[in-house]
């Protein structure tokens, strides 16, 4: 007999997610202070990582541009900060980043493999040097100050960006565009022959991923309160999303989320406990993860799942 | 006329350093297929070590060449034998190996930079060696810089002859074209790839030592040289050693011209050349 209930997963997963976000929404009331800062730092890295995976996950193009888009968002916010309200600032930061991504994408996305990684890595250095040159020459100072806002505001804005990003990522993944992106990653030429407008799709997705990174940069600038080109275009912001996404595993949507959350939490602990050695420890953890967890945390979860499943079969 | 001479010689001096760095990365990426983002960190390590040997122990920088080169070679060789060999064995396809070895090089970058900053701190470090002005038809340069160019040319040429003329060099060229087939033809592929990675690290070490002879060095200098090496390697054509060598000098000349306008714009200019090149001729000048 057919059950009148829908697939239990379709009920449980959204319900749990909703509950989780409700908990996150009331967090500043329950645990104000450091917990909020910790959680919004994690949320920031989840945004960077999921945005990175939105483009690089299905297509297989390894982009090292996140730090560039993040920095563009930071500078948009620093330059326009006094003339625009915060929500507009975040949107503008995202849009300017997307414009940069459109130009960069149109120029470079015909490059395959390692060329693309080299190019986007150089982009971060280029923007850093160009902005530094401009600031020293035309404003006479290296850094800029921003008007600070409360921690709770930063927290809610980042949470808002995260929700919008997750919805976008989910919708793209289950749409025909997601399928087309996947086909580009598997065989670009075959995808083009099958009627996918390869270039347009790649450039558009690259720009969409830049929107969220730029928006996160715009609000992060307000949180930093002082910025200069070295802070804004820190190449670590390119490395970390890639590493976090791979650490989590790229096969599933939850992989990068899991990887970013686990890794950024670990990073916060390492920074507070071992301020002088945390990069060293992170490097070692990464090496171990690359060697022994080739499919990331997702692979680990799937292996456990399989083992549990097989165990159940053996018993019956 | 003198300014022209000045710019050209300055460009060649810069180019010699770039050529060495790029040849190193060219071997590591072109043959061993490791996009080594920690290349600049090896340069930094050698530069800082030379500074320490010079200022703390009073050792001649040229003698530290005998330390930095071989030590870097052994470190690179062992890294490939342990880490990258393992990664390549467990990767299902060359593409997967490419991205995973790149990630491993990020991890190396973190580790090396952290150890170096514990050891040396954030300050600029410089020493003075052979700081004698030499007059070249009106253009005046330090003897230390001219010496680095001469040595860079000698090392570059020696390396080219090694790859072009020896049996091992032939094995390296075969491995660059197709590692699997080269292995079937009796080339000990694990050894060749590890040697290439080691030579790449050794060239970075030698270049780092030269850089410390001409400019102040610091722990965070590596990244800039990594970017320059990548640009030159692509400029010269991936996998082509003469290409990397010529590309290094070409970029050095560009840098020297831009420096006469505004020194802080040189990296921006390199990048614009990179963009133009990728649009017009993505294979590079010597690429096939």
Chains A & B: contacts with CB separation below 8 Å: 109
State pLDDT tens for residues B80-117. 999 999 888 888 888 788 888 888 999 999 999 999 99
* Whether the Cβ atoms of residue A234 and residue A228 lie closer than 8 Å to each other: no
Q: For residue A133, list chain B residues with Cβ-Cβ distance below 8 A.
A: 262, 264-265, 268
Q: Is residue B287 part of a domain?
A: no
Q: For residue B110, list chain A residues with Cβ-Cβ distance below 8 A.
A: 279-280, 282-283, 286
State pLDDT tens for residues B171-204. 988 888 888 888 888 888 889 999 999 999 999 9
> CA–CA separation, B158 vs A27, rounded Å?
65
State pLDDT tens for residues B34-77. 889 999 999 999 999 999 988 888 888 888 888 889 999 999 99
Per-residue pLDDT, A8: 66
Q: For residue B83, list chain A residues with Cβ-Cβ distance below 8 A.
A: 287, 291
**Which residues, including other chains, have CB under 8 Å from residue A314's CB and lie 6 or more apart?**
none
* Whether the Cβ atoms of residue B246 and residue B261 lie closer than 8 Å to each other: no
Q: For residue A109, list chain B residues with Cβ-Cβ distance below 8 A.
A: none
Cβ of B103 within 8 Å of Cβ of A242? The answer is: yes
Per-residue pLDDT, A316: 45
Overall pTM surpassing 0.90 (yes/no): no
Residues of B (228-257) whose Cβ lies below 8 Å from A: 230-231, 234, 238
Q: For residue B231, list chain A residues with Cβ-Cβ distance below 8 A.
A: 118, 122
Residue to test with chain A: of B39, B226, B227, B269, most A Cβ within 10 A: B227
B274 touches chain A (CB under 8 A): yes
Q: Is residue B288 part of a domain?
A: no
> Thinking of the domain A33-311, which architecture would CATH place it in?
Orthogonal Bundle (1.10)
Of A105-109, B103-107, B148-152, B253-257, minimum mean pLDDT range = A105-109
Cβ of A130 within 8 Å of Cβ of B268? The answer is: yes
Residue of A nearest to B94 (CA): A113
**Which residues, including other chains, have CB under 8 Å from residue A30's CB and lie 6 or more apart?**
none
Q: Is residue B286 part of a domain?
A: no
Q: What is the CATH number of the domain that holds B37?
A: 1.10.3470
Q: For residue B268, list chain A residues with Cβ-Cβ distance below 8 A.
A: 126, 129-130, 133
- Host domain of residue B195: 2-280
Q: Is residue B285 part of a domain?
A: no
Domain spans of chain A, in order of start: 33-311
Per-residue pLDDT, A315: 52
Largest Cα separation within chain B, whole Å, is 60
Cβ of B278 within 8 Å of Cβ of A115? The answer is: yes
Closest CA relative to residue B242, chosen from B274, B285, B187: B285
Q: For residue B234, list chain A residues with Cβ-Cβ distance below 8 A.
A: 115, 118
Residues of B (39-98) whose Cβ lies below 8 Å from A: 83, 86-87, 90-91, 95, 98
Residue to test with chain A: of B110, B112, B251, most A Cβ within 10 A: B110
The three-class DSSP label of residue B127 is: coil
> CA–CA separation, A167 vs A173, rounded Å?
10
Domain count, chain B: 1
Distance from CA of B136 to the nearest CA of A (A): 33
Per-residue confidence in pLDDT tens, chain A, 316 aa: 455 666 666 777 778 888 888 888 878 777 777 888 899 999 999 999 999 999 988 888 889 999 999 999 999 999 988 888 888 999 999 999 999 999 988 887 777 777 888 888 888 988 998 999 898 888 888 888 888 888 888 999 999 999 999 999 999 988 998 899 888 888 888 888 988 888 899 999 999 999 999 999 999 999 998 999 999 999 889 999 998 998 888 877 888 999 999 999 998 888 888 888 888 998 998 898 888 887 888 888 888 878 776 665 555 4
> CA–CA separation, B107 vs B111, rounded Å?
6
Q: Which helix (H) or strand (E) holds B5?
A: helix B2-25
Q: Is residue B53 part of a domain?
A: yes
How big is chain A, counted in residues? 316
Q: What are phi and psi of A14, to 5 degrees?
A: -65, -35
DSSP code string of B182-230: HHHTT--HHHHHHHHHHHHHHHHHHHHHHHHHHS-B-GGGHHHHHHHHH
The arithmetic mean of pLDDT across residues B104-133, rounded, is 87
B32 touches chain A (CB under 8 A): no
> CA–CA separation, A165 vs A179, rounded Å?
18
Token pair listed for A113: 């493999």
Match 């690359």 to its residue by tokens.
Answer: A290
On average, the pLDDT of chain B sits at 87
DSSP code string of A241-271: HHHHHHHH-SSSTHHHHHHHHHHHHHHHHHH
Cross-chain CB nearest to A239 (options B91, B106, B265): B106
> CA–CA separation, B192 vs B176, rounded Å?
10
Q: What are phi and psi of B186, to 5 degrees?
A: 95, 10
B143 touches chain A (CB under 8 A): no
């Amino acid at each position: 007999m057919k059950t009148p209930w829908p697939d239990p997963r379709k009920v449980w997963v959204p319900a749990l997610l909703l509950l989780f976000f409700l908990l996150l929404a009331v967090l500043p009331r329950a645990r104000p202070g450091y917990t909020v800062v910790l959680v919004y730092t994690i949320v920031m890295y989840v945004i960077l990582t999921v945005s990175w995976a939105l483009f690089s996950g299905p297509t297989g193009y390894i982009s090292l541009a996140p730090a560039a888009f993040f920095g563009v968002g930071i500078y948009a916010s620093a330059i326009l900060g006094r003339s625009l309200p915060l929500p507009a600032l975040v949107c503008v930061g995202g849009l300017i980043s997307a414009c940069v991504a459109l130009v960069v994408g149109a120029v470079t996305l015909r490059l395959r493999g390692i060329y693309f990684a080299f190019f986007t890595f150089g982009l971060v250095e280029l923007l850093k040097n160009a902005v530094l040159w401009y600031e020293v020459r035309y404003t006479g100072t290296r850094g800029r100050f921003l008007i600070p806002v409360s921690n709770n505001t930063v927290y809610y804005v980042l949470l808002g960006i995260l929700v919008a990003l997750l919805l976008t990522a989910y919708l793209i993944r289950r749409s025909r565009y997601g399928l087309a992106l996947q086909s580009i990653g598997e065989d670009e030429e075959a995808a083009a022959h099958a009627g996918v407008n390869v270039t347009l799709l790649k450039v558009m997705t690259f720009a969409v991923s830049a929107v969220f990174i730029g928006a996160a940069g715009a609000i992060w600038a307000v949180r930093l309160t002082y910025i200069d080109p070295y802070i804004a275009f820190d190449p670590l912001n390119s490395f970390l999303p890639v590493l976090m996404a791979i650490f989590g595993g790229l096969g599933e949507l939850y992989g990068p989320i899991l990887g970013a959350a686990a890794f950024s939490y670990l990073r916060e602990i390492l920074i507070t406990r071992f301020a002088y050695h945390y990069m060293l420890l992170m490097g070692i953890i990464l090496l171990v993860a690359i060697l022994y967890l080739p499919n990331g945390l997702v692979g680990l979860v799937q292996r456990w799942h399989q083992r549990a499943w097989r165990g159940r079969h053996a018993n019956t | 006329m003198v300014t022209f001479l000045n710019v050209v010689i300055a460009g060649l001096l810069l180019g010699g350093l770039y050529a060495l760095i790029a040849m190193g990365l060219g071997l590591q990426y072109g043959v061993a297929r490791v996009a080594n983002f920690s290349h600049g960190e090896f340069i930094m390590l050698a530069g800082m070590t030379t500074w320490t040997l010079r200022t703390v122990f009073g050792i001649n920088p040229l003698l530290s060449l005998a330390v930095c080169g071989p030590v870097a070679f052994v470190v690179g060789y062992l890294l490939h034998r342990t880490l990258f060999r393992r990664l390549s064995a467990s990767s299902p396809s060359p593409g997967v190996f490419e991205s995973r070895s790149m990630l491993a090089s990020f991890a190396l970058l973190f580790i090396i930079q952290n150890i170096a900053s514990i050891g040396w701190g954030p300050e600029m470090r410089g020493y003075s060696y052979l700081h004698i002005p030499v007059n070249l038809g009106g253009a005046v340069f330090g003897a230390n810089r001219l010496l680095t160019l001469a040595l860079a040319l000698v090392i570059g040429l020696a390396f080219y002859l090694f790859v072009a003329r020896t049996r091992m060099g032939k094995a390296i060229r075969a491995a660059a074209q197709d590692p699997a087939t080269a292995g079937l033809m009796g080339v000990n592929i694990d050894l060749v790839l590890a040697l290439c990675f080691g030579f790449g690290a050794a060239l970075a070490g030698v270049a780092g030592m030269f850089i410390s002879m001409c400019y102040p060095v610091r722990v965070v200098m590596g990244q800039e040289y990594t970017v320059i090496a990548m640009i030159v390697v692509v400029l010269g054509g991936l996998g082509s050693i003469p290409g990397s060598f010529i590309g290094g000098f070409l970029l050095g000349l560009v840098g020297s011209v831009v420096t006469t306008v505004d020194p802080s714009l040189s990296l921006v200019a390199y990048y614009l050349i990179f963009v133009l090149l990728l649009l017009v001729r993505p294979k590079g000048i010597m690429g096939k």
